[in-house]
Amino acid sequence: MNRLSTALAVLGLGALGTGLLPGAVAAEPSIEPRPTTIRLERLERGADAGAPYVEGRRIVDGPRSTRVRGQQLRLLGTRPDGRYVVVVHRDGRAQVRAVTPGKGSRKILPVYEQETATLSGDGTTLVTALYRYRMGHTVLRAYDSTGGERLGLRKRKGYEVVLDADPTTVVHSGDRGPVVAWDLTTDSGRRISARPGYAADLANDRLGVLTKDPYEGGCSVVSPISDPATTLWRSCEERVVRFSPDGSHLATVHLLNDGLGPSEVWVRTVGGELTGRYRVRSGYFTQIFFEDADTLLLDTSTEEATAAVRCTDGDCELASDLGPGEQP
């Protein structure tokens, strides 16, 4: 895998009505507001988080907590039937499982150690990607998230990442582009953008691409999937990690952020206006997601404590009880 492939893999970490905004790009403000520093022990307790999140080996969803047997639990999302879809290691192997809230889980399919799994924004479609080093290609497989029935298979030369999916379409991108919409009903591909993509939201018509290798001055551009030539926001310092549920806001981090998780995150409108900037000292954010159009939920970990934090317009509160810290 080359350097841009590695950058795309980092950017992909992570898995979004279609009102298009004007094409003019709002310039990034020259003076940004002071960041809000999150100190978990000083925050007041607010309402429980309105979206499920992982706490150790449990999925916490409001007042309900569901334990999942296994290790390295990762929540992909929620199916339309209310079951959580997770990747978990059990018996020495990685599996995608459907977890019934408050009850047990059922295996949907096994995955290889190096295989990534992405759940579509609507929870209906599960897509895996496995890069085969010796053969130099990526195998993409799409499944129905309920029964695990395979919907399609593609082999693409080079390293590919899955950006989003829905019941009929998978959006994926190569390390040097292009961004392709794979039609599962016809097993055909349609080029969306020649640039390498790193984020997409089919439901809200949003696409994030890189102008070139970010290690060599590449920038991040957000545009409509339906009109990739129209730039909604551009930054040479930040990249998108989440689109809000209605596509109106972006959660962004430093363009080349890597490691356990970022220690700083911005919230912007899709046109670039900064509405919040949050950071944590001696810690990092393990998960970043939106509770609603402009309210951010940050799964926060420090040496002293862990908790889910809710932030809006520069103000933050606890959205969970404090848990034990992670000692170095």
Per-residue tokens: 76:
């992909």
> What confidence score (pLDDT) does residue 22 get?
35
The three-point CA angle 309-289-122 to 5° equals: 140
CA atoms within 13 A on the CB side of 11: 34
> What confidence score (pLDDT) does residue 62 get?
85
> What confidence score (pLDDT) does residue 207 get?
98
Domains contained in the chain, CATH given: 3-324 (2.130.10.10)
d(CA 322, CA 305): 6
d(CA 15, CA 44): 31
> What confidence score (pLDDT) does residue 30 get?
46
> Contact at 8 Å (CB) between 282 and 261?
no
Amino acid letter, 309: V
Tell me whether strands 169-174 and 160-165 are parallel, antiparallel or unpaired.
antiparallel
Phi first, then psi, for residue 309 (nearest 5°) are: -120, 135
Within the chain, where are the H helices? 3-12
pLDDT in tens, 269-294: 999 999 999 999 889 999 899 999 99
For the stretch 155-159, contacts whose Cβ atoms lie closer than 8 Å and that sit 24 or more positions apart, written own/partner, are: 158/5, 159/1, 159/2, 159/5, 159/8, 159/9, 159/131
d(CA 13, CA 285): 13
Q: Is 6 exposed, middle or buried (0-12, 13-18, 19+ CB in 10 A)?
A: middle
> Contact at 8 Å (CB) between 283 and 262?
no
Amino acid letter, 299: D
**DSSP per-residue string spanning 147-171:** T--EEEEEEEES-EEEEEE-SSEEE
Q: Indicate the pTM of the whole model.
A: 0.85
Amino acid letter, 139: V
Residues of the chain with pLDDT under 50: 10, 12-27, 29-30
φ/ψ bin of 92: left (φ > 0), alpha (ψ from -120 to 50), beta (otherwise): left
If you count them, how many residues does the chain have? Answer: 328
Question: Could you tell me which residues come within 8 angstroms of residue 70 by beta carbon, excluding any fewer than 6 positions away?
Answer: 57, 88, 89, 90, 95
